[in-house]
Structure formats: structure tokens, C-alpha cells
Amino acid sequence: MTIRVIPLMLVAAFLACASSCAKPDWIQQTLVTVDVTGVWIGSTTRQSGLSTFEVRLELEQQGPKVTGSVRQTGPGFGGFGALTGPLDGFIRGDVFSFALTNATAQGELTVTGDEMTGYMNHHGSKLPISFRRVSSTLPASQP
């Protein structure tokens, strides 16, 4: 009888190991490996390549949670509207995901040191965007 139980136990152990290997490690999914606090300047180009605009991010990070603001600093996309307002986001590993609280844009950026690259969805257009950090501290609040 014990001879039959051993193969069953081996099959059960194999299935348990295989199912845990197929899932991403939960620690890696929740690990925060970067800090995006500071002022970032970036730019993106409309898909037609005819117009480019600059964007300024002011971000404050506490653990995986990021709050801040985005402001378009150059000319925009005409009918697309200005890209300005508060944002909420989070860090998962080295990826910064965000959404403007007015729901006009969201994006996902990979952070490498003082640079971030990725995409932003703005009024239905998926735009490539890149940023560089110009300061690791936030400017003093305006009175």
C-alpha cells in the first residue's frame, strides 16, 4: 500500500511546485525599487510627428504611492486640449503608472535613474514620452 502512496505524493508535490513557478513572485510585484520624487521635464510628439509639446511633472513619493501634478509647458495639440492637473500614481518595481485625476490622461513609464520612458494616453492617442529629472526636491509652495 505504501508503494502506491509514494507516486501519488510525488505527483502532488510536482503539481504544487509547478503551479507556484508559473505565477510571478508577489514580492517582486510589490517591491519598490525606485524613487521618483522631484521635478521631471519631458516631451512627446504627436503621431503625425508635426507637433511636439513639453510636460513638467512634480512628483512626491511615499512608499509605492505617488502624488503630484503635471503641466504642459509648451504649445499643445490644438484640439486635444492642455495637459494640466493633479495626478495620482504608484510604483511597482521600476514602473511608474499614473492617471490625471481629471481623467484626461494616464500613462506608464519605466524608471532608470534620472530618466523615465514609456507612453501616455491623452484623449485617445497613445503617445511615446520620455522624461529626465531636473531636481530631486520639489519647489517650495507658492503663497
Mind listing the pLDDT tens digit for each residue in 10-49? 666 666 665 555 555 555 556 788 999 999 999 887 666 5
Give the pLDDT score at 69: 94
**What domains can be seen in the chain, in order of their start residue?**
38-135 (2.40.128.120)
Beta strands in the chain (DSSP E): 38-45, 52-62, 65-72, 84-92, 95-100, 105-112, 115-122, 125-135
State phi, psi for 89 to the nearest 5 degrees. Answer: -160, -175
Higher pLDDT among residues 83 and 76, named by residue: 83
Reported pTM:
0.72
Average confidence (pLDDT) over 62-73: 92
